[in-house]
Amino acid sequence: MHELKDLRPSSVTGISAHQLARALDTTVHSGPAETLITGVTLDSTDVQPGDLFVAIPGFKRHGAEFAAKAIAAGAVAVVTDAAGISMLAGMEDIAMLRVSNPRVFAGLAAALVYGNPGKSMRVVGITGTNGKTTTAHFVHHVLAALSGPTLLIGTVGVSLGEVHVSSARTSLEAPVLHRVLAWALERGAQNVVMEVSSHALSLYRVAGLKFDVSAFLNLQRDHLDFHKTMESYFEAKASLFAADFSKRAVICIDDGWGERLAQMVRIPTVTVATKSAADWQVVSHSLNQKDAGTDVTIRAGEADLRLHCPLPGMINVQNELTALAVLVSLGFEASSVCEELARTPGVPGRMEVVAERSSSTPLVIVDFAHTADAIKSACAALDPVTPGSLWILFGATGERDRGKRPVMGAAALSSADYVVLTDDDIYGEDPAQIRAEVAAGFAGVAGRARSAWVSDDRKSAIHEAVLAASPDDTVLIAGRGHETIQMVGEKAHVLDDRVEARVAVSKRSVQNQLGEVGGEEKTACPKLRTISKTWEDFQ
């Protein structure tokens, strides 16, 4: 089984410290300038002999504190800022470079050390608050089918052919990114599709890479614990579309942020939209009863195209339409792309069907929806395929933007018939406080929910919701998607929503045989504490 640290090219020509410094407009501060550098890393635990260790100023500690450990592991050179240099007195026998911004330097240096692998492949970047993973999977599937081996990098992990490894973050640190690109190129990869997060752009994780096409999907409230304001969040996303980063752009203008971005960019741009005029626009759509997907007619200039989206909801039509425009921008023929897009397999944890509806079992869906808009979109997608009631189970993440919590609560209560509020990743916060802040959004919300419950045990909550639902109902388990670990404090607990939902479905099957489940009025879930027995209690 592969790990991310294993994805290294088998050989690297390398570059001397002097050549690297000269190429990036700096000098070797001290030590032997002819030192050969064959790798780059920010992580002292990831060092291989011949590596350049980049000591960055962190949020809590300076990377220079770990330089001695990196050197002991085989690092042959260190690059850092002035503060780091002052911490490394007495290490003048190793090649040392001083730069103003080690993070930027890390990506540029890694690109050079690994031979600029990105220049030898088509590179596609996908950004936006919601839909990055699904859109990336659409593009990846078509490129792999029509072009050849295609590397995929994103929230679900890093994949090339039969190799798949998990990743702790959506976008890899720049030195790891270029190393993985070199590894993929060595194995015949012709294309790269990657999700590009706002954190990656703010922290220079894509430095040294230029995208052939970059796509923007939407911007919704998220990550304000990091960006502080929506304006700052937008500016981070918009930076991907500068000429230094991207050759061409595909921009969805379904929201005001997309419209604004399309007016700002100065690179060749194609606009797409599901509900307004654009270069590529949806002119009609209808529910496909066979697979709960959507049949779509798209207008591009004077031509109309037929497209089938195999995933439910207009949010996924938006994702697929963006993917179509990206692929045509790369030079592929539109009708062939449409045919292949319709065959895209399901995306892990994105509208993933855990249990199909039957005469005795509700439809059970696991989705990554973790913002208010994503919750609304997911519920709207499932309403047309739900003859009975729609359930949503969700929670909010600890140590993240607290302001979005009540907004999520209001979205859930106005979008579903039955609401189960539980925990997501808690980290170091008090989970009861997190739930209380979400539940504050229930007050004064006009609309739909008839009952709501709260649980401090997500696993039990999943079981209770699946057992309580009727066969005509749909149960949406939202927020964590493909994730298999729940963080409580600093402890990682194994918790896969899909696994627990399947266990609950199995329990339901046994109880069905005993005549103990389904069809009752949902005024109580035995193991869930009632917030409200009826909707009227919220008024």
CA distance 128 to 216: 5
CA distance 77 to 94: 6
CA distance 261 to 238: 7
Is 8 flagged in the annotation as binding? Answer: no
Please check whether residue 78 is in contact with residue 97, taking contact to mean a CB–CB distance below 8 angstroms.
yes
Cβ-based neighbour number of residue 108 at 10 Å: 21
Q: Fill in the DSSP letter of residue 244.
A: T
Is 132 flagged in the annotation as binding? Answer: yes
CA distance 103 to 317: 37
Is 172 flagged in the annotation as binding? Answer: no
Q: What would the two tokens of residue 536 be?
A: 């009227």
Is 218 flagged in the annotation as binding? Answer: no
Is 131 flagged in the annotation as binding? Answer: yes
CA distance 64 to 218: 38
Cα dihedral 23, 27, 31, 36, rounded to 10, equals: 0
Please check whether residue 499 is in contact with residue 462, taking contact to mean a CB–CB distance below 8 angstroms.
no
Please check whether residue 420 is in contact with residue 461, taking contact to mean a CB–CB distance below 8 angstroms.
yes
Is 441 flagged in the annotation as binding? Answer: no
- Using left for φ > 0, alpha for ψ between -120 and 50, and beta otherwise, residue 66 falls in alpha
Instruction: Indicate the angle between helix axes 314-329 and 334-341, nearest 10 degrees.
Output: 140
Is 86 flagged in the annotation as binding? Answer: no
Is 133 flagged in the annotation as binding? Answer: yes
Is 128 flagged in the annotation as binding? Answer: yes
Is 130 flagged in the annotation as binding? Answer: yes
Among 258, 274, 276, smallest CA distance to 315 is for: 274
CA distance 468 to 440: 25
Among 328, 346, 316, smallest CA distance to 217 is for: 316
CA distance 160 to 144: 10
Q: Which amino acid is present at 169?
A: R
Among 320, 251, 250, 253, smallest CA distance to 285 is for: 320
Feature table: binding site: 42, 44, 128-134, 197, 205
Feature table: binding site for ATP: 128-134
